[in-house]
Amino acid sequence: MTNKDLAELIFPNIDKTVEDYEKIYPSRNGKVVTRFAPSPTGYVHIGGIYQAIIDYLITKNNNGIFMLRIEDTDQKRELDTAVDLINEAINHYGLLPDEYEINGQIVGKYGPYVQSERKEIYHAFIKHLIEIGRAYPCFCTKETLDELRVMQEHKKQRTGYYGKYAKCRNLSVSEMIDNIKQGKPYVIRFKSNGDFEKKFKFHDEVKGDLELSENDEDFVIMKSDNLLPTYHFAHLVDDHLMRTTHVVRGEEWLSSAPKHIELFDAFGFEHPKYVHTPLIIKKEGNSIRKISKRKDPEASMSYYSELGYPTRAVIESLMTIINSNYEEWHTENPDKIFTDFEYNPEKMSSSGALYDLEKLNNISKEIISKMKAEDLYDESYKWACKYSESLKSLIEYDREYYKNILNIEREQEKPRKDIVYYSMIESLIWYMYDDRFYNSEKEYEWKNITDKEEIKNILDLYISKYYDENDDKDTWFNKVKEMCDELGYASNIKEYKKNPEAFKGNVSDISTVLRVALTTKSNTPDLYCIMKLLGKDRIIKRYNEI
Nearer to ligand GLU, 276 or 515 (CB): 276
DSSP character string of 176-230: HHHHHHTT---EEEE-----TT-EEEEEETTTEEEEEEPP-B--EEE-TTT-PBP
According to CB under 6 A, which one of 3, 9, 61, 71 is a site residue for ligand GLU?
71
**What is the distance between the alpha carbons of residues 44 and 48, in angstroms, rounded to a whole number?**
7
Nearer to ligand GLU, 260 or 282 (CB): 260
Vertex 120 angle, CA 116 and 122, to 5°:
80
Q: How far is the CB of 176 from ligand GLU (least distance, A)?
A: 31
Q: How far is the CB of 78 from ligand GLU (least distance, A)?
A: 12
According to CB under 6 A, which one of 123, 128, 134, 235 is a site residue for ligand GLU?
235
**What is the distance between the alpha carbons of residues 301 and 87, in angstroms, rounded to a whole number?**
12
Nearer to ligand GLU, 40 or 310 (CB): 40
Q: How far is the CB of 254 from ligand GLU (least distance, A)?
A: 11
Nearer to ligand GLU, 235 or 243 (CB): 235
Q: For the chain, what's the residue count?
A: 546
**What is the distance between the alpha carbons of residues 266 and 80, in angstroms, rounded to a whole number?**
36
Binding of residue 249 to ligand GLU (CB under 6 A): yes
Dihedral sign of CA atoms 392, 394, 397, 400 in order:
negative
Count residues binding ligand GLU (CB under 6 A): 8
Q: Is residue 189 within 8 Å of 221, Cβ to Cβ?
A: yes
Nearer to ligand GLU, 118 or 235 (CB): 235
Q: How far is the CB of 16 from ligand GLU (least distance, A)?
A: 24
Q: How far is the CB of 302 from ligand GLU (least distance, A)?
A: 17
Nearer to ligand GLU, 235 or 240 (CB): 235
| Interaction residues for ligand GLU, span 485-544 (CB under 6 A) | none
Nearer to ligand GLU, 253 or 466 (CB): 253
Nearer to ligand GLU, 48 or 137 (CB): 48
Q: How far is the CB of 253 from ligand GLU (least distance, A)?
A: 6
Binding of residue 277 to ligand GLU (CB under 6 A): no
Nearer to ligand GLU, 43 or 329 (CB): 43
Collapse the DSSP code of 105 into the 3-class scheme (helix H, G, I; strand E, B; otherwise coil) and give the result. strand
Binding of residue 300 to ligand GLU (CB under 6 A): no
H or E element that contains 305: helix 301-307
CB atoms within 10 A of CB 411: 12
Alpha helices in 25-98 (DSSP H): 46-62, 82-92
| Interaction residues for ligand GLU, span 418-447 (CB under 6 A) | none
Nearer to ligand GLU, 348 or 376 (CB): 348
Q: How far is the CB of 137 from ligand GLU (least distance, A)?
A: 25
Q: Is 133 left (phi over 0), alpha (psi -120 to 50) or beta?
A: left
Q: What is the CA radius of gyration of the chain?
A: 33
CB atoms within 10 A of CB 76: 6
Q: What track of x and - describes contact with ligand GLU for positions 6 through 45 (by CB under 6 A)?
A: -------------------------------xxx------
Piece of the chain touching ligand GLU by CB under 6 A; list 164-172, 245-253, 379-387, 501-509: 245-253
Q: Is residue 399 within 8 Å of 391, Cβ to Cβ?
A: no
Strands (E), 301-450: 353-354
**What is the distance between the alpha carbons of residues 365 and 420, in angstroms, rounded to a whole number?**
5
Q: How far is the CB of 247 from ligand GLU (least distance, A)?
A: 6
H or E element that contains 20: helix 18-24
Q: How far is the CB of 47 from ligand GLU (least distance, A)?
A: 9
By CB under 6 A, name the binding residues for ligand GLU: 37-39, 71, 235, 247, 249, 253
